[in-house]
Amino acid sequence: MDPTIEDNAVIKTLSDAIKARGYDTLTPVQEAVTQPELGEADLLVSAQTGSGKTVGFGLAIAPTLLGDMERFPKASKPLALIIAPTRELALQVKRELEWLYGKAGATIASCVGGMDMRDERRTLERGAHIVVGTPGRLRDHIGRRSLNMNALRAVVLDEADEMLDLGFREDLEMILGEAPEDRRTLMFSATVPRSIATLAQHYQKDAVRVTTKAEASQHSDIEYRAMNVSARDGENAIINVLRFYESPTAIVFCNTRAMVNRLTTRFSNRGFSVVALSGELSQNERTHALQAMRDGRARVCIATDVAARGIDLPNLELVIHAELPSSHETLLHRSGRTGRAGRKGVSALIVPAKSRRKAERILKSAKVTAEWSDAPSADAVIARDEERLMNDPTWQQDISEKEQAGAQKLAELYSAEQIAAAYLRLYNSRQSAPEELSASGSDGAPQKRAAFGASVWFSLAGGRKDNAEARRILPMICKAGGITKEDVGAIRVQQNETFIEIRKSSVDAFVKAMGPDLNVEAGATLIQLDKAPKITASPRPNSGGRHRDNKPRGGGKEKPQSRSHTRSDKDYWDHNSGQEPSKKRPKGGSKSAPFAKKRPEDDLLGDGAVKRLKKKSESRAAKGKSKAAIAKGKRKKARTKAERSK
């Protein structure tokens, strides 16, 4: 049976506040740190994010601050100092302690970067029982003598490991060095590496190590899902995941500010109520973004790791890793935003095929098991919408008097089927349409496309010697013939011509769209072939020890080239590869022309040499022009001087 609040002898004003919030029992961490035998001991506590540690250390230091009293006297010098790694976490801790100590009459002040330091100084001058702040700002106040530490009875380091990772060791040592030696020091950390143990040895006295059974299974309330996606479907998959789960609040983690800005713009355009949270935003902007999430004005928060460190959002049931985290610690930290205080949550990793091994390594290091599957398809999202619609409790509610007249009028005007169809249309209009995703194999690698089937080959005049490139021929053929790339089986660029494979079922429409002459564009005409052509491999460019005729230098037997070295995206494209041809504009050619235009000497010198020569020539011309202009100016000046002397 879970321990009740009364079983832990919590001060009455605090227990009343906890019950008013709807809690009848304590979490394992809260129970562990409020044991009577701990007394006034220093504590080193291992507590995962979302375990209720903020209320835990609030309860732990209460006897030290209040003694036998249930309410605080008038505020004067601070009695407790809470140090947190980020502004958002510090302000969040302040909000938690305000409701916990509200009935006890506590005055709580914050000192965080990004806020007006003069306002903070005036608040401290008026008096505060508890001060919550970030290391840098607290150090500034101590240096300016606006924060008096003489009366401190307790110091709490929240997420101590994160503060050390962020480089706050020097600040922490300065703050702890200024605090009274007879204070209590409580350190809360997700992990206890050597750096934390060393800090505890220097600034704690015989600290009691506190662990909980809940640590044995990290994030047991979080369902981890690893979702396979193709490389080009990452963002589309995120949209489908958001739509599939329809969490009241969701957070999408990115590795860079640029990715945050990109996703924020796209999701906003897709109709999601979204806010951004990154280091480039001001404190005021970040505060407004978080408040919008708490008020329900926004449903999706897109954030970087640093900006979202330690934040707690209500009803957060979904965490999406748009980009894989850099380490397993970051994975656990991100995922810990959900599944808090006994609530269930989902942590979804978007995993492109090339990142499969990295994802498996991170999950293994984090000691969590993820269920691997494809990202939700458009059909899966639509089916989930229908399920939500049919299970909505509104179907079971009685018709109110206000609704009676309208419902009766609709029933008289339209049939039940018309009303149902209209309701479905209205329901779907409020939802963002899901995205169609490419197929992805269960092993994380993209699946090969189905066999192309029966086909017809065509020949196009012009090949490698005319600088023909498959990546430019494909869109040209599709546009001229009114087909898609799915109807093109392969493109093979040969020395003097190019062969194009078209799906047999699409040939009639293709030929009709091209016209009787099969003209693609001026100077480019197709010829339909009776059978598949004989295709030869292209020579490997820049082959080093080979001449252009593909013979070894110095004679000897010619060696066959491997397939991987004889074809490129310029002369080879295959429907079954599932890859898009490069869209990079080739040098020397127009965007729409099938063949690039080069001067004869380009083949001898190479593009790089031609560019350098051209640049050098232009530089010499400019230099010569400059000298001529200077000489002309000197002559003019000499003539003017001679005329004046006369």
pTM: 0.56
**What tokens does 83 get?**
């140090």
Contacts (Cβ under 8 Å, ≥6 apart) of 320: 238, 241, 242, 250, 251, 252, 253, 348, 350
Question: Structural domain of residue 614, as residue ranges?
Answer: 606-646
**Residue 369 and residue 290 share a domain:** yes
C-beta separation of 224 from 347 below 8 A:
yes
Residue 123 lies in a domain: yes
Residues 146 and 187 in one domain: yes
pLDDT for 622: 56
158 and 16 inside one domain: yes
Number of H helices, E strands in the chain: 21, 20
Is 446 a residue whose pLDDT tops 50? Answer: no
Domain check: are 54 and 162 in the same one? Answer: yes
The pLDDT of residue 417 is above 60: yes
When divided into structural domains, the chain yields a total of: 4
CATH number of domain containing 247: 3.40.50.300
Q: What is the pLDDT confidence band of residue 323, given thresholds at 50, 70 and 90? A: very high
Q: CA–CA separation, 15 vs 202, rounded Å? A: 34
What pLDDT sits at residue 566?
A: 39
Unique residue bearing structure tokens 């070894």: 552
User: Does residue 45 lie in a domain region?
Assistant: yes
Of 145, 132, 136, residue with least CA distance to 90: 132
Q: Is the pLDDT of residue 10 over 50?
A: yes
Give the ranges where 41-168 is alpha helix by DSSP (H): 53-66, 87-100, 117-126, 135-143, 160-165
Tokens (6 digits) for 345: 């949550």
Q: What is the pLDDT of residue 185?
A: 94
Question: Mean pLDDT over residues 340-354, rounded?
Answer: 85
| 236-272 residue pLDDT tens | 999 999 999 999 999 999 999 999 999 999 999 888 9
Question: Is 327 within 8 Å of 205 (Cβ atoms)?
Answer: no
pLDDT at 607: 46
**Same domain membership, residue 24 and residue 160:** yes
∠ CA 85-115-277, rounded to 5° = 60
- Residue 499 domain-assigned (yes or no): yes
> How much is the mean pLDDT over the chain?
80
Between 604 and 49, the more confident residue is: 49
pLDDT over 80 (residue 342)? no
- Same structural domain for residues 89 and 177? yes
Same domain, 96 and 210: yes
Percent of the chain topping pLDDT 70: 78
* Helix, strand, coil shares, percent, the chain, to 5: 45, 15, 40
- Report the distance separating Cα 87 and Cα 115, nearest Å: 9
Contacts of 11 (CB under 8 A, 6+ apart): 62, 63, 66, 70, 104
Last residue of a domain, one of 383, 398, 425: 383
Instruction: Let me know: does 359 contact 351? Beta carbons within 8 Å.
Output: yes
Q: Give the number of other Cβ atoms within 10 Å of residue 169's Cβ.
A: 15
Minimum mean pLDDT range among 278-292, 386-400, 531-545: 531-545
**Residue 450 within any structural domain of the chain:** no
Segment 506-514 shows an average pLDDT of 87
Q: With 50 as the cut, is the pLDDT of residue 555 above it?
A: no
Among candidate residues 178, 198, 216, the one where a domain is terminated: 216
- Report yes or no on 390 lying in a domain: no
Q: How far apart are CA 76 and CA 585, in angstroms?
A: 71
Tokens of 239: 């949209």
**Whether residues 344 and 465 fall in one domain:** no
Same domain, 106 and 28: yes
Q: Are 229 and 206 within one domain?
A: no
Does the pLDDT value for residue 46 go beyond 50? yes
- Residue 401 in any domain: the answer is no
Among 60-64, 118-122, 587-591, the least confident range: 587-591
Give the number of residues written for the chain: 646
Structure tokens at 639: 């003539």
Angle at 622 between CA 620 and CA 627, to 5 degrees: 95
Q: Determine, yes or no, domain membership for 407.
A: no
Phi, psi of 276 (to 5 degrees): -110, 150
Q: What is the pLDDT of residue 315?
A: 82
Radius of gyration over alpha carbons of the chain, in Å?
Answer: 35
Q: Do 201 and 255 lie in a common domain?
A: no
CA distance 356 to 349: 10
| Tokens encoding 433 | 């349409």
